[in-house]
Every structure is written in structure tokens, then in C-alpha cells.
Structure 1
Amino acid sequence: MTPFGPMSNEDGSDVNTSRSHLVSPARPFNCSTSRVTLLIIVTSALTLTAGLLLGRSAIPRDDDDESGVFLPGAPQRLMESGDLDVAQKILDGIETGKIEENLRLITAKPHIAGRQADFEVVDLLKARFQEYGLQVQVTPYDVLLSYPSDTVPNSVRLLDGDREVIYDAVTDESDLSEQPGVVRPFHAYSPARLVEAPLVFAGYGRVEDFEWLRSQNINVTGHVVIVKYGKIFRGDKVDIAQAIGALGVIMYADPAEYTGMRSGDTRVYPETWWLPPDGVQRGNIFTGDGDPLTPGYPANNLAYRFNEADVKLPKIPSHPIGYGAAEKIMKHLGGMEVPGASDWQGGMNITYRTGPGFLDTSWRIQLNVTSHNQRAKVENVIGIIKGEIEPDRYVLLGNHRDAWIYGALDPSAGTAAMLEIARVMGKLV
């Protein structure tokens, strides 16, 4: 009998499930056999240990070698050429003037990924690696990228009760927008969408910021939120707002953190490096790794690709603006004042309020994102110095190359330094 009734054969007769038919009678324990087995195991272990000790002692090693270099099996000529001071030789060979020259060449034009100017940087890096004596490999990939519209820019507008435009946020940057190749401000991978709703200020857009709003009975669902850059990744801000039910996200860099006002320096670019009021931080809001359509795999021509609708891309629109535009919008916000001692306070000349909505409750914020995603070719440039001792092991030194605009600091400062290191190492090979 089984828990589900008697087991039976195909002809209906019961199957005998007694223990005697399922389990063989146990054999009596044999002490002499057990001792022999134990002796074999102990002997094998001792033999293995002795072999390891003999093998270890047979490897030549000069304990008096002050260099401390010990590479079993390495040819003597390589041991003799080993140099623990090679790092210092590299540092001594670095010329800061060449790093500056590299930086000027790399940042001569805006070079967003997938566009012609970025391929020109590919050619520059390839030529430099070859000049330095490195083997060069250029590897193409086909990835999903994101660009703003060339004809209809993204917009953030403040509307009155009759949907007349009270304020149209600046979409151009005075010192950049007229320069060839500069893309308008945008958040990469934001969906194209138009939303109109009351506005809520949500601090930095962290989970704890939204929890505080909820504790004050401030509802975010069905609203557009405006948040400060900082504290967490911009893509996480969008993901959190989306999960809570917001219709869209606007981000700005608050002058309290992006200017020198806290130290008394009121100057901004181009007088110094601090962000001007119309300066906008572009960036990616995709929270995954690598190409969205080939997660976890190289995006070559053999890769399986998901449909764009099936991957974890943002579902609500997001757009960045400058703090000059944010001030003109947020000075009209209604609702409660934010706590004075909290990090919700900033450096704009306004009273920071939460909303929802504006002092005139008929006003709305309109967020219109017209950006688009498209598959495009990108390339990795790899310079190779092949090792002699362990050529199948890799030491990687790298940096990303593309930039939202010129990328003088991020990423080109790193690329310029990497090129100079490659030059010096090439001379040592």
C-alpha cells in the first residue's frame, strides 16, 4: 500500500512492495576488510604528502636573492631580466606634456558614441598604439544607443490653467549649443512621451525621500517629480519614481553642490569650472550593464537580441535641466516648506517647497521627451603587449572613450593618461 493506494501492474494485479523485495539483506560487518581499507587510505595519503614535499624541495630557489623574484619554471634569462623597479621606470618616463597633448586631440570635437567623431578618436588611438609598438585589435559591436531628436528638442514647460506657456525651460546652453556636434541635453534611454501633471519636489529621489513625502501625506502617484542630482545614480532615481507611480522625472544640479557658493566663490564657467545656471548634466538612466538588448553577452553579430519592449528600460520619461530653469519653476511650487536643516535645502534663491502642485493650483508642468533609441556600431580599440612568462594571463588597463560632449574630465582625462602609459611601456618592451 502506498500513500495513494495499492500499486498495481498493467494487468491489474497488485505489486508486492514488501521490504524483502525492495532491499537486499544486509551483509555482516567484516572487521578485517575495514582494517585493510583504512591502511590503504593512510598509506596513499602519506605517499602523496611525501611526493609533494620532495617535489617542492627539488625546485631551485635562491633564498639569498635580494630581488625576491621567485617564478618556478621560468627560464633563467627571464629571471635575470626581471625588474621590480619597472613601475618606477614607468613613472619616471611619464611626460605630463604628452598627456596634455593627448587630451587636446581626444577632446577636439564632441564625440558621442556611434557618431563619426567617435570613430575618428578610434583612428587616433589605433595610430598611437601602433606608433608605440603595440599589437592593435579593433573589435566592433552592434549596440542599442540613445540620442535626442535633431529637430524637436525635449522640453519642460510651465503651463497655466488654460494651458498657455508661462515658462519654457532653456533647452540650449549658451556656451555650447552653437558648436558643431553638441547634442542637446537629454537622458539616454528615456522613453519618448509627453506628460502633464502637478509637480512634486522629491529631494534627491532616494527611497527615504519618497518615504518622507509619504509620511507627510504627500502623494506622488500621477505626478511629475523634480529631483536634485547626487547621492545615488540618476537611473535609480527614475526606477524608484517609476515604482512609486510618478509619471515622469525632471533632474537638475543644485548650485549648493555644483558651484563654489559654499566657499564664497560666485564665479561660474567660463570664468572658472563651476557649473553655470544653464549648464545641464547629460547622462544614461539605464540601470543594467552593457548593451540592453544582449545582457551579459558581447553584442556581436552572433548574439541573440531581445526585443526592446522586453528588456528593463525606463518606462517613464526623464529629462535634465539647469538650475537656472529649475529655480524659475520651483519658485512657484506650493505645499509645505522642506525641513530647514535637511539636505533637501539647496542654493537657489527660493523657498524650497514640496508641492504637490503650484501656488496657483491650476498650473501644471509639461514634460515632453522626443529622444529615440537606435542600434548603432561602436568599436573597442585594444593595444596588446604580449607577456613572455604567462602569455595566457591578462592584466587590463582601460577606459571608456565616448563622451556626451567633449568629455575633457570624464572620460578623456583617463584615456589621455592611458595613452601615455602605453607609450612608456612600449619603450620598455
Structure 2
Amino acid sequence: MTFDLIIALATACVAFVLSKRSVAHFPLWRAVVTPLASIIGSGFLLLGPILNIGYGGYAPLIMIALCFVAFLFGGVIRFNMAAGEQAIQNGDYGALAIRIETLSSWALAFAYIISVSYYLNLLGAFALSLTPFNSDLDAKLLTTGVFFIIVFVGWSRGFKSLEKMEYVSVSLKLAIIAGLLIGLMAHFGHRALDDALIFNPPKLDGWSALTLAFGLLITVQGFETSRYLGSEYDAQTRIKSMRLAQWLSTAIYLVYILLISYVFRPDQMSSSETGIINMMQIVAPILPFLLVAAALASQFSAAVADTSGSGGLFAQLSRNRITERQAYLLLAVIGVALTWSANIYAIVNYASRGFAIYYGLQAALGAVIAARQNTGWQRVGFYGLLATLGAVIALFGQPVE
């Protein structure tokens, strides 16, 4: 009981700090909120069980690799931002750069649609996980309803309203993550003192281990949303916000995966989308309830962030022939279709492939810009390798079985 109170107190303290006006209205932090909402939208819910079951005691190394690859792709996107989005559109880097940029933007717009479906399907599963209505049918019905709520808000009030909802959700999510980490630290320390830490053997190796990691790229994406906040923040602020969001999310992921990788036996883990709830029940009775609250907050905020991004992109790319409102409706129609035709892990894989295509195209764009700027063959070659990696991930990424 005392342990539960400590976790609850830690959660409340972080929530109080994030709700303070001086924090909530700090410009750089406001710019960080959108990419951070997308990056940690679901990773801490899905990645723990998946990495531990698939990779055993090597799970933290896979987490480091995922974050490292994400940071490399983030670096090339920041390079493209610094080169000037308007300069790219004006043809300063040639016609090829314009074509690649347009193609990558379309790829991102459709990847956002898939990712919103992924976020909201996870929300539906977690929302009902501790209730008598914990069935696949009920989860899909709830997911469908949330789709219509987000479309209604976006249609009637637009991005500003969505952004306000998003900040509250992100703050709650970060507060709950703080409480979760406090609980895991205590549990890990207790197991270490009892000399009871576990090193589980990996179930995957070779090509299957690599392709599963490819299929998990979606769990660390979201940083690219900084690039599309140009109407709200200048380029320098957006570059800083993306970098900071990636560092913060990397720290959260690594600490989390490290703390859960050596304390659970294989029979205590489940690969279901809500498997983390049973694992956390072992740590403290309060944590499953906090995790459900975190899932509702995190999935909603991430869905809002990507809904906002997709709406703006469709409007921009179609030269307003498709309005943001119409884009929200298109997103809902495709998202609901995916909800009723595919399972959560298939949707995760589709989204990972979509974002891999976008990141690969951005890397190709970076190579073209670097060549035009005469920054050296090393940078051009490195960005070319990143573009190839994006294509490999898109082709060979596999879903969780």
C-alpha cells in the first residue's frame, strides 16, 4: 500500500509541474510536445513485452539500435530543414529535389493515416482491458467511436483545439511514465538485492530477429512532425524541438526497457497488445490502472498529433483541393477499414513500412541537397546509405507473430 502511494505521489508531482503555466507556455517545450506525443505514443506499451519475448536479455541492445536508427533519420530531416523548406520548393536544389520532397510528403500523409489507426486500436484494447467488455469486438467498436470523435473535433474546431487537447494528454502521459519508472526502479532494486535478476534467452536470431526489428520502426517514429509546424514555430525552434524530443524519448525508452528486461520470467510475459498490464500487476497493484490511463492519454495524444499532421499535409500537397477537414474524414474512413480488417500487429507493420519509405525518401533528398551544397562525398554517401536502409526496412520488415 505504501509503495502504491509513493508511485501515485510521484505521478501527481510530475503532473503538477507540467501543468504550471510557466512550463505549459514555454515556447520550446510547446514545440517539443507534438513530436514527443508521437514518439512515445505507444512504444512503452508494446515494446516491453515484444522485445523481452523476442530478444530476451538482449532487449536493451535492440532498443538502443532502434533509437539510434531513428536518430540518424532525424538527423537527415533536420539537415533538410536547415537547408530551407522554401528553398527546396523554389527549386534552389534542382527539380529532382522538388520531386523527391513531394513524393516523400505524400508517403508521410498516408503513413500518418495508418499510424492513427494503430494508435487508436491500441487505445481501444487498453481502454477495455480491465472491464467485463474486454473482447476484440468491443475494442474495435470503441476504436471506431474514437475515430469519429477526433474527426468531429478537427472538423468543428481545427488544429488549435486539437493542440490543446494534445498538451493535456502528453502531460498526463509523462506523469504516469514517471510513476511507472519509479515503481520499476524499486522492483528492479529489490530483485537485484535478492540476487534474483534473470537473463532470458532470445527466441529469435538471425534474419527473423532483424526483420522483426525493422517492423518495429513505428514505435520510435514521430520526430518528423516538428518539420510540419512551420506555421507555429521558426525552423531553428523546430530543429531544436525535434532533437530534444528524440533525446527525451530515447532516455525514457532505454531506462524502461533496462528495468523490465531482467525481472520477468518468460511465463510472466505475454505478446498480446495488453500484455504489459499483467507484467505490471506483479510490480504494484496500482500500475495496471495507471497504465490504462497512460494508454488512453498516450494513444489519444499521438493520434491527435498525426491527425493534425496528415490534415495539413493533404491540404498543402493538393493545394487545398483537399481541405484539412476532408483529410480528417478520409483518415477516419481508411482507419476504420483497417480496424475491422487487420490485427494490431499487422497495422504496426504497415505503419513501419510507410514511415520507412518516408525516411528513405528524406535521406535521398538529403543526399541531393548535400551534393548541390558541395558538403563532401562522405555526407552524400552516408545519406545514400540511409536511403537504402529505409528501402530495406520497407521491403523486409515483419510483424510480430
TM-score of the superposed pair, with normalisation by structure 2: 0.22
* Larger strand fraction of residues: 1
Larger radius of gyration between Structure 1 and Structure 2: 1
TM-score of the superposed pair, with normalisation by structure 1: 0.21
* Larger helix fraction of residues: 2
Using CA pairs below 8 Å that are at least 6 residues apart, which structure has the higher relative contact order?
2
